Amino acid sequence: MTTPPELAARRTRSRMPAPAYFGISAIFHYLGPACAVLLFARIDVLGVAWLRIASAAVVFAVWRKPWRLVRRCSPEQRWVLLGLGVVLAAMNATFYLAIARLPLATVGAIEFLGPIVLAAAGVRSGRNAIALVLAVAGVAALADIQLAGAPLGFAFALVNCALFVRYVVLGHRIANTGVGFAGIDQLGAAMLIAALVATPFCLGAAAPAFTSPAALLAGAGVGICSSVIPYVTDQLAMARLSRHTFALMLSILPAVATVIGIVVLDQVPAVAELIGIALIAAGVSIHRQAKEK
């Protein structure tokens, strides 16, 4: 039987277009990490990553109680959730290790290089091919990377890029299984797994936060802004968009990262980066989703 919350969710999804969910996700995808960068001065990078993952896991546990769904999952579905949990843990850690060494906009640009391959696989028209070319050109303009200056940061950003592709593939799979909140419940289960995976590697680095209520509260805020709001809205968007369309829309992330970097971190972009933002916006604006998923 469909519960009242699920009915409310369906009505909300019918009123709000999928790109609106994606827009919310894009903003919080980098707003939370930008705040995390400010926290790096007090807590080690991996410690902040653990606070993000653990606080998000607590929110999902209280809100969705995802273990109830796991009991009903098939063995195949459980493997998908395990894979997504491992990906979330590794992706969040490598992302933070990258933004600790490179500007947020640069990491955002590298992060998109993987999803652009997914978008390319879904090109079915001349219009979408042009959209893809514009988006790639925009990312290239934003990816002003000096390898000699931060090779380790670049390496972490590339690993995060590969993991982000896997997140999109697995996230899209769970978003299109079941009805109602099924995708979000599975996301919650995966986040609990991510917390278990990350704890042995990151908990020690987070230890200083346990003596500072302000740091704990800030870490929880980062988790909600970085791993609850954007991942939930990703699920709502993925349930209504093809994987290729969602991947192309991810091209807006470098532009959002640039804007967030300006506002929160005072990382002012160069002219080439501003041109990149314009190209990405143009590519996203002319893209059209195919009728079939």
pLDDT greater than 50 at residue 293: no
How crowded is residue 232: how many other Cβ atoms within 10 Å of its Cβ? 24
Per-residue pLDDT, 274: 73
pLDDT greater than 60 at residue 156: yes
Per-residue pLDDT, 159: 94
- What is the chain's length? 293
How many Å apart are CA 116 and CA 43, to the nearest integer? 33
pLDDT tens for residues 74-93?
Answer: 889 999 999 999 999 999 99
The pair of three-digit structure tokens given for residue 6, joined into one six-digit string: 């699920």
How many Å apart are CA 35 and CA 263, to the nearest integer? 11
How crowded is residue 20: how many other Cβ atoms within 10 Å of its Cβ? 13
Per-residue pLDDT, 124: 67
Highest mean pLDDT among 7-21, 131-145, 192-206, 213-227: 192-206
pLDDT greater than 90 at residue 193: yes
pLDDT greater than 80 at residue 243: no
Per-residue pLDDT, 199: 97
More confident residue, 211 or 23: 211
pLDDT greater than 70 at residue 205: yes
Per-residue pLDDT, 285: 66
pLDDT greater than 90 at residue 167: yes
What mean pLDDT, rounded, does the chain reach?
82
Per-residue pLDDT, 253: 74
Determine contact, residues 219/55, Cβ cutoff 8 Å: yes
Residue type, 279: L
pLDDT greater than 90 at residue 206: yes
Per-residue pLDDT, 78: 92
pLDDT greater than 50 at residue 1: no
Determine contact, residues 54/195, Cβ cutoff 8 Å: yes
More confident residue, 269 or 149: 269
pLDDT tens for residues 146-155?
Answer: 444 577 888 8
pLDDT greater than 50 at residue 5: no
More confident residue, 214 or 23: 214
pLDDT tens for residues 112-145?
Answer: 777 776 766 666 677 777 877 887 787 777 665 4
pLDDT tens for residues 175-191?
Answer: 888 655 688 999 999 99
